[in-house]
Amino acid sequence: DWSIGFNADGILSYVGNAFNGTNGNNSPSVNATDIGTIVWKRFKTDKNADRITADFGVGSSKNGDNSSSSFNLLVGYGKEWRRGATRLQGFYGADALLGMSSNSNKQVNPGNTIEYKSGMSIGIGGQGFMGAEYFVLPKISIGAQYNYSLIIQSSPKSKTTYTDGTPTLEGNANSSFGLSGVGTASMTINLHF
């Protein structure tokens, strides 16, 4: 089997709120700024699968002459093992991760335009995950997953330029190492085919 899973936090929250007796429930939104995490799986056996994870976001905004943009991409490849043979199945495993991100903005003032560029930050690392799926139909399941990731990130020098003669300002290149809960307690909808 193959499987594709979507982050369903917004959808499940909306459905749950539909029964709370109020009229002020907002519908879930999907936009290019962050499409959420998508996980593709290819099952080698009933109990293990290869998986590819992707989280992509791109944004752009403009207000008069001022503008900003952002880009982020996180991809991963990993292995998943499963337990249980009924509608409720537990799973666990690990992914190797590669991420990239950047942002820029432009501010136009009388007599001066300020333009900032962060440069492309790159991160590598891995994550462990565990969770469960419940099959509401033979090929459709809802699930929950808990992740913890370890990421090393390197960022280049940022650059701020001015048109009024002010010297270009360069930020420091830096690197970081951290443990974080990327996608912690995310809810998913999974389609198997």
Q: DSSP letters along 136-175, please?
A: EETTEEEEEEEEEEEEEEEE---EEEESSSPPPEEPPPEE
Task: Quickly state the pLDDT bin for 34 (edges 50, 70, 90).
Answer: very low
Averaged over 55-73, what is the pLDDT? Answer: 92
Q: Give the per-residue pLDDT at 8.
A: 74
CB 115 within 8 A of CB 68: no
CB 143 within 8 A of CB 132: yes
Q: Is pLDDT of 43 > 90?
A: yes
Q: Give the per-residue pLDDT at 25.
A: 55
Per-residue pLDDT tens for 143-159? 998 888 888 999 999 99
Cα 54 to chain center, whole Å? 7
What amino acid occupies position 121? S
The least confident of 4-13, 74-83, 86-95, 140-149 is: 4-13
The least confident of 20-24, 54-58, 75-79, 87-91 is: 20-24
Share the mean pLDDT of the chain.
86
CB 182 within 8 A of CB 161: no
